[in-house]
Structure 1
């Protein structure tokens, strides 16, 4: 019952109706006051998480919803899970319980990795894009990229810590000499989402990223990456050099539902254009994107 009603509310959520609908969702999460395992709260968090992963352009809004529910939960000691104890052997409740559920879900999905969900398909077959397997693979990839975007937005709202971000980035750059397209693209998407906040929040983070970006340059030189993903690395390096300000001036996240829909439309159009250019790459779902006439290379980013 709770799943169906909360799903319905999530489908109606917009930034214009944010307060009223988030309060209605809270009423369902609040049912955990009468539960020993806070199953209602966990269910609500899982549903929001699924929605966020399926709808990357709306990641900022879903992160804001998590922040709002966390604030409502923070001082409510009636919401608890008697099966979860803290280091003092006391029952975890309120805000810490909310964060624990959220972090556990982030870790579980991130460690699973979207690449492992991809069916085995022969991308050299020109008819592969017409198969159900191909569409399943595209859906898995979209969900995986939605996951890292959501994680980045949660970090920007201080729902996840610097330590969690470092661990995610380490995982995605574990073998800079032999990187893979999937992990590298995910890394770039994560940095584009949370890089500015992470880089400017402390000197320690800035120095940590200095070392990390040196590894990214090593990844760029690898022969295992497609040209498309190598260009993504260059884009991220450019972004940091420009103090994380996008050339198009869109560094600020959409703040109205109209802007979010416009962002979603643009992303859909870009994906459609990319799909039309696909030609059965053996390294990734997408083929390298040609940038004819471009003189960009890593040397220009080392100056």
Structure 2
């Protein structure tokens, strides 16, 4: 008899700590596409609306996708020095929004992630 891959398994046999890698990769790909789309549209006139859109995504909540978001913002800031001020303002707005939503006692994930990225880049020079 052939076992169905969707057959019930007792909790002891389930790998509770293992996250389905395909779903994580799918989430990362989706966030990458959405954030890249927003960052490609950013200008002085669209900054306010796009910042609100980024804040509403709460990018700091998902530890799997946060490094991707930080990487995209960092790359855009380096490659487009004309808009580096907008990207730094965006980072500040995301940091402040995370603090507001999580409270003062919360360790800021976005802020730590962007600082770590900058430190790694500087150390590699």
The verdict on a shared fold, with TM-score over 0.5 as the criterion, is: yes
The corresponding residue for 1:61 is: 86
Contact 2:35 2:69 in 1 (8 A): yes
Contact 1:32 1:39 in 2 (8 A): no
Change (3 A) 1:32 1:68: closer
Change (3 A) 1:98 1:22: same
What TM-score does the superposition give when structure 2 sets the normalisation length? 0.65
Say whether residues 1:106 and 2:80 are aligned partners. Answer: no
1:195-214 equivalence runs, <5 A: none
- Aligned pair partner of 2:75 in 28, 50, 67: 50
Q: Does the residue aligned with 2:101 lie in a helix, a strand or coil?
A: coil
The corresponding residue for 1:5 is: 34
Structure 2 gaps of 5+ residues are: 1-29
- Offset at residue 6 of structure 1 (A): 0.7
- Offset at residue 72 of structure 1 (A): 0.7
- Offset at residue 21 of structure 1 (A): 0.7
Q: Which has the higher relative contact order, 1 or 2, with Cα contacts under 8 A spaced 6 or more apart?
A: 2
Contact 2:44 2:86 in 1 (8 A): yes
Structure exhibiting the larger radius of gyration computed from Cα positions: 1
The corresponding residue for 1:233 is: none
Instruction: Report the Cα distance in structure 1 between the residues aligned to 2:71 and 2:106, rounded to whole angstroms.
Output: 18
What TM-score does the superposition give when structure 1 sets the normalisation length? 0.29
Instruction: Report the Cα distance in structure 2 between the residues aligned to 1:12 and 1:40, rounded to whole angstroms.
Output: 20
Alpha-carbon RMSD = 2.2
Structure 1 gaps of 5+ residues are: 79-91, 114-303
Aligned structure 1 segments of 4 or more residues deviating by more than 6 angstroms = none
